[in-house]
Amino acid sequence: METATDNATRPRGFNAPISRYTRWRMMKNAVAARLIAAGGISVIIFICLIFFYLAYVVVPLFEPAQVRAAATYRLEPAPGEPLYWAIEEQTEIGVRFSRSGEVLFFDTENGTTVARHQIALPEEVRIASFANAQVNRALVAFGLTDGRAILARHQYHARFRDDIRTMVPELRYPYGEEPLVIDPEGQPLVRLAVQEDDDAMTLIAQTADQRLLLVHFTKETNFLDESVSLERQETPTLSVSHQVDHILLSADQNRVFLVANDGTISFLDIRDKSAPSTIEQTRLFKNERSLQAIAFLTGYISLIVADDSGTIGQWSLVRNQDNVTKLQRIREFRRQSDTITAIATEPSRKGFLTVDRQGELAIYHATAHRVLFRERLFEHGLQTLAIAPRANAAIALDETGMLHFVRIRNEHPEISWSALWGKVWYEGYPEPRYVWQSSSASDDFEPKFSLVPLTFGTLKAAFYALLLAAPLALLGALYTAQFMAPQMRTMVKPAIEIMEALPTVILGFLAGLWLAPYVENHLPGVIAVFVLLPVGLLVCAYAWTLLPDSVRHIVPDGWEAALLVPVIIGLIALAMFVSPQMELWLFGGDVRTWLTHEMGVGFDQRNAIVVGLAMGFAVIPTIFSIAEDALYAVPKHLVQGSLALGATAWQTMTRVVILTASPGIFSALMIGLGRAVGETMIVLMATGNTPVMNFSPFEGLRTLSANIAVELPESEVNSTHFRVLFLAGLVLFLFTFLVNSAAEIVRQRLRKKYSTL
C-alpha cells in the first residue's frame, strides 16, 4: 500500500517521459504504415495505368471499318456508256471515261464539272475496248476499231492562291496523240490490257477475229525535252483453247491471266516476250457457276474472284513441291446478299471492296480474312465501283445513273485474331504459316503480324535460360544455406548477389561478340561440358569418400566445395582442349555441316545455347538469392529436431527444409522466369533476332521484348505496325501478370500446407 512518503520520494513527472516516448513511437508506426500502404496502392495504380494505356493504344486495331455516305448526285450525261471511274489521291476530284472518248473531271462533293476533255479519235473510228494500268501510273488505253490504241494519263496538280489549295486535273498523252498500231491487220481491239514501268510497256489485245496479240515496247527517254519514244519488239500471238472474256496483266509485265465467264482460266508466263508459255489451265469453279467479277489484288500475285452466288474467293500463285508455280484457291469469304457486280482493290493494301445488286457495299481484307464492313447503303443496285488511292473514299454508280460518293475510315484492316494467332496462308507461301515480317522495300508488301513466333521465341529463351539457371541456382542455394561453413557463406553469397548488378547490355555485348563465336568454334566441347562436368564431379565426390578420415578431416566441415573449384575449371578446360579432336573424329571436321546434312538441323552462330548461357548467368543471382534466404530462414529447431530423431542430413533436407522453404523456392523460380521472359538486351544482342518456330538449341529466335526494342523506334506513330508492337507489350504484360498471380496462389497454398511443420 502506497504511503504519502512513497509519493513524496517518487521523482516528479515519472510517468511523463514514458508516455511521451510511447506516443512518439505510435505516431512513427502509424506514419510508416500509411506510407507503406500509400506506396503499395501507388504501385497498383501505376500498374493499372500502364495496362489501360497499352489497351488504349491497342483497341483501335480491332475497330470495324466506318463508311459514311457523303454525297449523291447525277453527273452530266455522257454521249456513251461509262467505261472507267477513278478518284485522285486527295479525294477532291473524280474522273469518268466514256465510250465516246469523253473524259469528265468532276468535284466529288457535289458532282459539278471541273474539266472536260475529248479523246481525238480518227475519222470513222470508234472505241472498242478500254484498259487501265496500275493506279500509281494513272495510264489508260483506248482500243479502237481499226486495230490501234490511244494511251493517255490523267494527272492532278495542286495550285495555291491566297493560301487556298486547289486540285487541277490534266489529261496528257505520254506517247503522243497519234494512236499506236497494235494489230497490223486492222481488226477491232475488243479486249485490252496494259501495264508499264519506266523502261517498258506491254499490251495484250484480243481482236474481233479472236486473235490474242502480245505487244511489247521498250522506252527511250530524251533527257533534253523529257519526251519518250517507243520501240516495238516483235512478239508472237498467244493461243488458248477456250473463250477469253477477261484479260489480266500483272504490273511487272511477266504474267497474264486469260479468263472465261464459265471460270476457265489460263496462266501464261511472258517473262520472255519472244517465247511466252502456258503454265496452267484450270477452272475457278467446281460447279456450274459463272464469273461475275474478277480483279487483281495489290501485288498482282492473287486474284479476287466473285461468282453468281455471291461467293468471293482468293486465288494465289503458289509454288508446289516440284518448284512449279500454280494457281490455288487459298481462302474464301462469306457470301453477300446478292450477286456481286463490281470489285475494287485497294492500291496499297490487301483489301478490297465489293458491291452487289441490292445496293450492299462490303469491305474485306484478304490477309486478315476479315469482313470489315457490310451494309446496304443504297436503295438501288450498284453497277460500278472505284476506290481512292488511300482507300479513304469511293464512288459507286447505281442502276438509275446516280453517283454515290462515300467516305471510308478503315485504319487497321490487317489485324484479326486469325492473323495474330493463327496460321495464315500468305501470298507466295506453299502453305499456311506463322510469320512475323512487318516491313519490306516493296509498296505492295503483305504485312505479316503473327505474334506466335515472337511468343514462342520468348518462351524458348526463358526455357533455355532456366534450364541452366534453375538447377545451378537452387542447388547452390541449398548447399550454401545448409551445408556451407558460415565464414565461406559470407563470401559466396555477396559475390553471387553482386552478379545481379552487372548491366545486361554488357552481358549481351559479350554474348554476341565473344561467346557466340567461341561456342561456334568449340561446339563439341561446349556440348561435352554438360556431360563431362556432372560425371566428373560425381567421380571426384566418390573418390573423396574413399580417402582416409585423417585426410578428409584436414578440410573443415563446410569448406569441401572450395576443393571443387579447380576440378570444375580443369574439366571445362579439358572439354575445350579436346573439342577440335572431337569435331574431327566424330563430325568429319565440321560439326555445323554435319548437323545440317546428317541431322537436318540448321545452325546459327547466335543461337539458343548462347542465349541460355548468357541469360542463365543473369538469372542465377535472382533465383539463388531468394531461394537461399528462404532455405536459410527455416527454423533451426525443425532441423535439429529432425536430426535428433535419427534422420540423416539429406533426409532432413528433402523432407523438412525443402518443404518448409518451398513457398520461397517457388517464388524464386517464378521471379527468375519473369526476369527471363522480360529480358531485352541479352536476347537482342545474342539471338540473331530471327522469328522462327524451331525449338532447336542450334537456331536463333526473336522475343517479344527484343522485337519491341528493335522495331518500335522505326515504326510510324499510330500505324498498324506501331499498335501491334504495343499489343506485343500488352501480351507480355498480361503473361507476366498471370504467371505472377498463379505463382502467388501456389505460394500461398504451399505456405498454408507446410506452415504446421
Q: Check: CB of residue 705 under 8 Å from CB of residue 685.
A: no
pLDDT exceeds 70 at position 5: no
User: 740 and 634 share a domain?
Assistant: yes
Higher-confidence position of 468 and 4: 468
Q: What's the alpha-carbon Rg for the chain, to the nearest Å?
A: 38
Give pLDDT, residue 225: 67
Domain membership of residue 89 (yes or no) is: no
Give pLDDT, residue 323: 80
Residues 6+ apart with CB under 8 A from 701: 456, 457, 460, 461, 608, 611, 683, 687, 688, 690, 691, 692
User: 318 and 467 share a domain?
Assistant: no
CA 70 to mean position of chain CA atoms = 35
Sheet holding 351-356, edge to edge: 340-345, 351-356, 360-365, 370-376
Find the domain containing 381 and state its range. 68-84+286-437
Domain membership of residue 537 (yes or no) is: no
Residues listed for the chain: 757
Letter for the amino acid at 376?
R
Give pLDDT, residue 20: 77
- Which region holds residue 581: left if phi is over 0, alpha if psi is between -120 and 50, else beta? alpha
Quick one: average pLDDT of 218-228? 78
pLDDT 10s digits, 316-337: 999 877 788 889 999 998 777 7
Pairing of strands 66-73, 403-409: antiparallel
Q: Check: CB of residue 76 under 8 Å from CB of residue 96.
A: no
User: 276 and 387 share a domain?
Assistant: no
Please report, rounded to a whole number, the percentage of residues in the chain having pLDDT higher than 70.
96
Q: Check: CB of residue 106 under 8 Å from CB of residue 88.
A: no
User: 304 and 260 share a domain?
Assistant: no
Q: DSSP letter at 123? A: T
User: 194 and 291 share a domain?
Assistant: no
pLDDT 10s digits, 686-704: 888 888 888 888 988 999 9
pLDDT-derived band at 308, boundaries 50, 70, 90: confident
Which residues pair with residue 363 across a beta bridge?
Answer: 353, 373
Q: What's the rounded Cα separation, in Å, for the pair 746 and 706?
A: 30
Q: DSSP letter at 647? A: -
Q: What's the rounded Cα separation, in Å, for the pair 25 and 182?
A: 102
747's grid cell: 505460394
User: 745 and 677 share a domain?
Assistant: yes
Query: Position of cell 561456334?
Result: 520
Cβ neighbours around 194 below 10 Å, total: 25
User: 662 and 731 share a domain?
Assistant: yes
Quick one: average pLDDT of 127-132? 94
pLDDT-derived band at 469, boundaries 50, 70, 90: very high
| CB-side neighbour CA atoms (13 Å) of 78 | 25
Give pLDDT, residue 363: 94
pLDDT exceeds 70 at position 314: yes
pLDDT-derived band at 1, boundaries 50, 70, 90: very low
Give pLDDT, residue 235: 85
Most confident of 193-202, 319-328, 432-441, 481-490: 193-202
pLDDT 10s digits, 154-167: 999 988 887 788 88
User: 508 and 649 share a domain?
Assistant: yes
CA-based torsion, 549, 555, 560, 565: positive or negative: negative
Q: Which of 386, 404, 437 is the last residue of a domain?
A: 437
Domain membership of residue 490 (yes or no) is: yes
Of 389, 399, 310, the C-alpha closest to 344 is 389
Which residues pair with residue 215 across a beta bridge?
Answer: 203
Of 472, 534, 461, 494, the C-alpha closest to 669 is 472
User: 253 and 379 share a domain?
Assistant: no
Domain membership of residue 189 (yes or no) is: yes
Give pLDDT, residue 3: 54
pLDDT-derived band at 14, boundaries 50, 70, 90: very low
Give pLDDT, residue 296: 94
Quick one: average pLDDT of 638-663? 87
pLDDT-derived band at 745, boundaries 50, 70, 90: confident
CATH number at residue 339: 2.130.10.10
User: 416 and 510 share a domain?
Assistant: no
Distances 482 to 67, 651, 757 between C-alpha atoms, Å: 70, 13, 18
pLDDT 10s digits, 285-302: 888 889 999 999 998 999
Q: DSSP letter at 290? A: -
Domain membership of residue 326 (yes or no) is: yes
CA-based torsion, 375, 380, 386, 389: positive or negative: negative
pLDDT-derived band at 737, boundaries 50, 70, 90: confident
pLDDT 10s digits, 652-683: 888 888 888 888 898 899 989 988 998 888 99
Q: How much of the chain is helix, strand and coil, in % rounded to 5?
A: 40, 25, 35
Quick one: average pLDDT of 213-218? 93
Higher-confidence position of 132 and 598: 132
pLDDT-derived band at 455, boundaries 50, 70, 90: very high
Q: What's the rounded Cα separation, in Å, for the pair 301 and 303?
A: 7
Q: What's the rounded Cα separation, in Å, for the pair 665 and 754?
A: 13
Quick one: average pLDDT of 199-209? 93
Q: CA angle, 324 as apex, 320 and 328 as ends, to 5°? A: 55
User: 292 and 232 share a domain?
Assistant: no
User: In this predicted structure, which of 309-318, 579-588, 727-736, 740-749 has the lowest mean pLDDT?
Assistant: 740-749
Core vs surface per residue 130-146: b (16+ CB within 10 A) or e: bbbbbbebbbbbbbbbb
User: 191 and 219 share a domain?
Assistant: yes
CB neighbour class for 574 (10 Å; exposed up to 12, middle 13-18, buried from 19): middle
Average per-residue pLDDT for the chain? 89
Domain membership of residue 671 (yes or no) is: yes
CATH number at residue 491: 1.10.3720.10
Residues 6+ apart with CB under 8 A from 650: none
Domain membership of residue 429 (yes or no) is: yes
Give pLDDT, residue 55: 93
Q: Which of 437, 465, 482 is the last residue of a domain?
A: 437
DSSP class per residue in 92-107: SEEEEEETTSEEEEEE
Domain membership of residue 231 (yes or no) is: yes
Q: Which of 283, 299, 325 is the last residue of a domain?
A: 283
Give pLDDT, residue 441: 64
What's the domain count of the chain?
3
pLDDT 10s digits, 371-418: 999 998 888 888 899 999 999 999 999 999 999 999 999 999 999 999
Give pLDDT, residue 11: 52
Q: DSSP letter at 714? A: G
Q: What's the rounded Cα separation, in Å, for the pair 561 and 577?
A: 25
pLDDT exceeds 50 at position 38: yes
Distances 533 to 451, 564, 716 between C-alpha atoms, Å: 38, 11, 50
Q: What's the rounded Cα separation, in Å, for the pair 198 and 89?
A: 21
456's grid cell: 514462342
Question: Which of helix, strand or coil describes residue 387?
Answer: strand
